[in-house]
Structure 1
Amino acid sequence: MSGRPALINRYRWWETILIYGGIAVFLAFLLAPFVEGFLVSLKPLSLLFSSPYRFWPENGSFAAYRTMWQSVPGFGWYIFNSFLISFTATAVVLLLVVPAAYVFARFPFRGRGPLLGIFLAVNMFSGAVLLIPLYRLMRSLGLLNTYFAMIVPGVAFLIPSAVWLLRTYMLRIPRELEEAAYVDGASYLYTFRRVILPLAMPGIVVVTITTFIGSYAQQFIYALTFNSKTEYMPLPVGLFGYFGKQEVIWNELMAASFVGILPALVVIFLLQRYLVAGLTAGAVKQ
């Protein structure tokens, strides 16, 4: 039977070209801004707006990656603050969302539908609309000029979408696995911990990544509104320091942007293997 073509290889040669050509075009549009931004970080500032425009930098160097630390003093502290805020917000969101999503997915209770609708409606509001009430709330709680002034609003706006995303994933887990555990005498908590959590790990990882990135991206407006101390400012405020009164230091801004997203890339790289590892974990009764 070695002469028969593989069942999975059913594409004709021109279909294969179209598929890979479409993927190449999609990746080109997706990666082009990042490639251009990286090349800008290698160009001297005096050549950024030269005519004619040159895509590949002449006399390119990594000088901007060294000088960026002097242009905005304490830039490393801005990166640490962003990572600390995002890590704490993600941990709090997961602690609240994982059991809540399981309850919404498995247990019918009065008001479940309206409550899910409220969660969905929260996502329709921008954080800028609620800045004044949030400021008054942070001031009454004594949280201004602290890390919590950015963590608490971030958690509040990230929970609804995380609940919807993880609940949808948990609905796909077969109920027969839980019923088999109940027949064997397992409690709800034991079943949730030993059966549901391992199977839901890919969904939890996706929620972790999206929550971390969302928290990493929404810190600018909260930092400017709820904080006035430099030691609590996150990365977006630090990047704003490269915008001078007369000009923008574009090469250092791009260099700082790539350095600033490294913590997020490291988190995504460390978590991606659990997407596959959690697909089959917990499906076998131990």
Structure 2
Amino acid sequence: MTPPPALINRYKWYEVLAIYCGIALFLIFVLSPFVEGFLVSLKPLSQLFSSPYRFWPQNGSFEAYRTMWVSVPGFARYIFNSFLISGSITLIVLIFVIPAAYAFARFDFKGMNVLLGGFLAVKMFSGAVLLIPLFRLMRSIGVLNTYMAMIIPGVAFIIPTGIWLLVTYIKRIPRELDEAAYVDGAGYFYTLRRVIIPVAMPGIMVVAISSFIEAYAQQFIYALTFNSKTEYMPLPVGLFAYFGRQEVIWNELMAASFVGIAPAMIVIFFLQRYLVSGLTAGAVKQ
């Protein structure tokens, strides 16, 4: 028996054309801001406000990628701080989220649904609403003007999302794996470490990627509120330094933005490779 034709071949030619045109239109809307930002980084500052506006730069160069380091001294330190803060937040989130998600997915206890709902309710509060209580807390424990002043709030606001994501994934793992481990004499922690974590690695990678991206993006408000020392400032504060009192150095700002997000994109790219490879792995992989 011959297999049925692929689903895409069942469409009429104009339906296939409409599908690809829709995909192309979506990509244009998504990628056009990045393309425009990159072209702005190649333009001289005097050309940005010329009339009529030119989309493609004349005599474009990578000069802004060189001068940006002079305009904001210590910019590399800002990138390092963002990586350190985001990496620390991601690691701490995984340490708390993995056992918590396993407990919510495998055990039934009183108040479980209420507790999960409370975690979700935390995400409904904006970080700006809690700045004053958080500032008093950071001051009382003596972590103002340190990395911890930005790591602690980041961990607190990201953990609920990580738990919800990973609980859903662990629930899809057959309970028979746990029962087989218990029959062999394994305890809960051994089962989590040697059975559940390897199988749930794709879900863990999703939590790691989302946590890293969220931590990398939300550092600005915490840094300005809980920190006054330049040596601890993250990348968003460094980008804000390109906003002068009289003008904004747009080409250097765009260049610094691309330089700043490039390391994060590289890390996410490699994590996605492990994520895709892990999606093909299962509990019965030999």
TM-score, normalised with respect to structure 1: 0.95
Task: Name 2:205's counterpart in structure 1.
Answer: 205
Instruction: Give the AA of the match of 2:198.
Output: P
Instruction: Give the aligned residue type for 1:274.
Output: Y
Residue in structure 2 matched with residue 44 of structure 1 by the alignment? 44
Q: 2:256: which partner in 1?
A: 256
Partner in structure 2 of residue 55 of structure 1: 55
Aligned residue number for residue 140 of structure 1 = 140
C-alpha distance after superposition, 1:211-248 (max 9, x if no partner): 00111111111111111111001111100110001100
Q: For residues 281 and 182 of structure 1, do their structure 2 counterparts lie closer, same or farther at Cα, with a shift above 3 Å needed? A: farther
Distance 1:67 1:185 in 2: 63
Q: Are the structure 2 counterparts of residues 82 and 175 from structure 1 closer, same or farther at C-alpha, using a change threshold of 3 Å?
A: same
Aligned positions, number: 285
- Give the structure 2 partner of residue 276 of structure 1: 276
8 Å Cα contact 1:198-1:281 kept in structure 2:
no
Q: Is the 8 A contact 1:143 1:149 kept in 2?
A: yes
Within 1, Cα distance between the matches of 2:183 and 2:136? Answer: 52
Match of 1:219 in 2: 219
Q: Is the Cα–Cα contact under 8 Å of residues 199 and 279 in structure 1 kept in the other structure?
A: no
- The structural deviation recorded for 1:81 is 0.5
| Equivalent residue letter for 1:233 | M
The 4+ residue runs of structure 1 with deviation greater than 6 A are: none
Q: 2:9 matched to 1:12? A: no
Aligned-pair distance for 1:203? 1.0
Give the Cα–Cα distance (whole angstroms) in 1 for the partners of residues 18 and 119 of structure 2: 41
Shift of 1:282: 5.0
Tell me, what secondary structure is at the counterpart of 1:261? helix
Distance 1:71 1:279 in 2: 45
Give deviations 1:243-267, integer Å, cap 9, x for gaps. Answer: 0011000000000000000121011
Unaligned runs of 5+ in 1: none
Q: 2: CA distance between counterparts of 1:239 and 1:285?
A: 47
What amino acid sits opposite 1:99 in the alignment? Answer: P
Flag the 1:67–1:199 CA change in 2: closer, same or farther, 3 A: same
Match of 1:76 in 2: 76
**Residue 181 (str. 1) matches residue 185 (str. 2):** no
The CA distance in 2 between the partners of 1:56 and 1:285, in whole Å, is: 52
Please give the alpha-carbon distance, in whole angstroms, between the structure 2 residues aligned to 1:185 and 1:7: 48
Please say if residues 194 and 282 of structure 1, whose CA atoms lie closer than 8 Å, have aligned partners that are also in contact. no
| Structure 1 match to 2:149 | 149
Distance 1:86 1:94 in 2: 12
Normalising by structure 2, we get a TM-score of 0.95
What secondary structure does 1:36 align onto? helix
Amino acid at match of 2:96: L
Describe the shift of the 1:285–1:29 C-alpha distance in structure 2 as closer, same or farther (beyond 3 A): closer
The residue that corresponds to 2:130 in the other structure is: 130
Q: 2: distance between equivalents of 1:254 and 1:130? A: 31
Q: State the percentage of identical aligned residues.
A: 76
Does the CA-based 8 Å contact 1:195-1:282 persist in structure 2? no
The answer to whether structure 1 residue 191 and structure 2 residue 209 are counterparts is no
Deviation (angstroms), 1:175: 2.0
Partner of 1:245: 245
Give the drift of 1:26: 0.8
Residue 285 of structure 1: CA displacement? 7.1
Flag structure 2 segments of 5+ consecutive residues without an equivalent: none
Letter of the aligned partner of 2:40 in structure 1? V
